[in-house]
Chain A
Amino acid sequence: SQQGEEDPQALSIQEGENATMNCSYKTSINNLQWYRQNSGRGLVHLILIRSNEREKHSGRLRVTLDTSKKSSSLLITASRAADTASYFCANSGGSNYKLTFGKGTLLTVNP
Chain B
Amino acid sequence: NAGVTQTPKFQVLKTGQSMTLQCAQDMNHEYMSWYRQDPGMGLRLIHYSVGAGITDQGEVPNGYNVSRSTTEDFPLRLLSAAPSQTSVYFCASRPAGLYNEQFFGPGTRLTVL
Contact = CB atoms under 8 A, between A and B. Distances in A.
Interface residues of B, number: 27
Contact of B42 (A33, A45, A88): A88
Interface size class for chain A? Answer: 20 to 34
Interface stretch (A60-68, A69-77, A96-104): A96-104
Interface in A17-46: 30-31, 33, 35, 40-45
Contact of B102 (A90, A103, A104): A90
Contact of B31 (A50, A90, A97): A97
Contact of A30 (B45, B98, B103): B98
B105 interface: yes
Contacts of A104: 42
A103 B42 contact: yes
B101 A98 contact: no
Contacts of B106: 41-42
